[in-house]
A = this chain, B = another copy of it.
Amino acid sequence: MASITKLTLCLVFFLLLSFPLTLSSPLHLRSSKNAPRFLADFSRTINNSRPLKYSKYRYETRYFDQILDHFSFSDLPTFRQRYLINTEHWVGSGQLGPIFLYCGNEGDIEWFAVNTGFVWEIAARFGAMIIFPEHRYYGESMPYGSREEAYKNVTTLAHLTAEQALADYAVLITELKRNLSAQACPVVLFGGSYGGMLAAWMRLKYPHIAIGALASSAPVLQFEDIVPPEIFYDIVSNDFRRESVDCFNTIKKSWNVIASEGEKNDGLLRLTRTFRFCKKLETADDLSNWLSSAYSYLAMGNYPYPSDFLMPMPGNPIKEVCRRIDSCPDGTGILQRIFEGVSVYYNYTGTVDCFDLDDDPHGMTSGWDWQACSEMIMPFASSKNTSMFPAYDYNYTSEEELCLENFHVKPRPTWITTEFGGHGFKSVLKTFGSNIIFSNGLLDPWSGGSVLEDISDTIVALVTEKGAHHLDLRPATAQDPDWLVDQRTAEVELIKGWLEEYYEKRKATFDL
């Protein structure tokens, strides 16, 4: 058996990326770097270290010369935006074949493409073209020619924003349609997690470009004080409590045990051994963060069937974590129970001998770190009473300080709601906007920041009690429970309705 090396760490990243809205635990070590983030690191590893397994989806890879700053006329170089395209099912522009556009999020677009089976699976029955454009500053879509140059400093990173990414998609699809004489072909947007936020925002900001959007697990309301900052960790905690109150309590108690153990003589060494780290822990907080991350990812990936791609996890993994924690022989210490439990996440196959906490201690490692320090300012806190995590309050001032220190950027904490809305979302959209599906699973901690009620007849919420992070977008499996099949059926029906309405209106216009 191998120790966890950099290569296996890549595997961890692969897994983490399966829940793109990853969250490094903002426990004690709360730096902007540990604020909610995606894992752009992944985008550097996918091509170098591992071929994609999911070659069952065929696509052509193309590149588009994209403007770096859509909203100003600075004399900046263009960059090559990558996009994946599949036209094999497309019925063509003559029949107004629809175009399914997935709003690429924070990572290599090939990874999102192969993990968004839903879009590929429904394209044939709609006669749809499929396009997966890559988000700027991720994967191969690097301004200034290379990742190194693009991530060099605040000036080069300046244009990594959601608005610019949306404009990229708008310009790309407009140009593509023009080249195909497909201007009249309806575009339907898809996106999961941050990609879901982009899909919803794009439908709202560019209704002339897309007729509707499926925004899966999109926490568009996780800003300012729109939802309570405790909601994320409360949901993670509830995911554990619903499996076992004992399990919840064991975890809740563990933090103090870890902290006090860490303060004892040789305590860190004992913690290192109990949790089988390859190198000695430097602080007890490192362990707490490592555990906290695992719990959050387990909650996001709390799927009803085993997800065995890249990094194996059982179905209902939290049930398994709690089973292991609870079923230790009487007299087993808390720390040993925690280790048994978290191994479901970090070592389900049992092939890992020791774990590595290696991480880049310097900022700027991932694009999401930057985004989380500039415009994606999502407040998080942990409730003393309802969370199983250590309690802490949200402190914007210290977040800002860390962003200034690490990234030399001053966050704009109220910008996203100014630009995209959020406050009074429901009442604003009741008479404005249409054709958005907000799909969520209530086990997903990000559902707390999403839209869980119908806003109007055409802006609807599809909520499953037992779903996790954008489960609906994943490829169909034989083990899919009925409620998941039903959710996807409802989505297909709604999309069908948007398209039918579009064609009818067009026909009516031509008949006039």
Q: Chain A interface residue count: which class?
A: 35 or more
Contact of A421 among B67, B158, B207, B408 (CB under 8 A): B207
Contact A70 B432 (CB under 8 A): no
Contact A409 B73 (CB under 8 A): yes
Contact indicator per residue, chain A 397-426, by CB within 8 Å of chain B (1) or not (0): 000000000001100101101111111110
A427 CB–B CB distance under 8 Å: yes
Which of the listed residues A69, A432, A433 has the most CB atoms from chain B within 10 Å of its own CB?
Answer: A432
Contact indicator per residue, chain A 366-383, by CB within 8 Å of chain B (1) or not (0): 000000001100000000
B-binding segment of A11-19, A91-99, A163-171: A163-171
Collect the chain B residues with CB atoms within 8 Å of residue A183's CB.
Answer: 423
Residue of B nearest to A172 (CB): B418
Give bound CA distance, A423 to B171, whole Å. Answer: 14
Give bound CA distance, A424 to B207, whole Å. Answer: 11
Which of the listed residues A72, A158, A408 has the most CB atoms from chain B within 10 Å of its own CB?
Answer: A72
A161 CB–B CB distance under 8 Å: yes
Give bound CA distance, A71 to B205, whole Å. Answer: 14
A431 CB–B CB distance under 8 Å: yes
Collect the chain B residues with CB atoms within 8 Å of residue A422's CB.
Answer: 208
Contact B72 A418 (CB under 8 A): no
Beta-carbon contacts under 8 Å, A179-232 to B: 183, 204-209
Give bound CA distance, A415 to B66, whole Å. Answer: 13
> What is the interface of chain A, defined by CB distance below 8 A to chain B?
67, 69-75, 154-155, 157-159, 161, 163-164, 167, 170-171, 174, 183, 204-209, 374-375, 408-409, 412, 414-415, 417-425, 427-434, 458, 501, 505-506, 509
6 tightest A-B CB contacts, nearest first? A208-B421, A74-B158, A71-B71, A207-B432, A72-B158, A208-B428
User: Can you list 21 A-B contacts with CB-CB less than 8 angstroms, sorted by A residue number?
Assistant: A69-B72, A70-B419, A71-B71, A72-B72, A72-B159, A72-B164, A73-B157, A73-B158, A73-B375, A167-B418, A170-B418, A171-B415, A171-B418, A204-B207, A207-B421, A207-B433, A208-B423, A208-B424, A427-B505, A431-B434, A432-B432
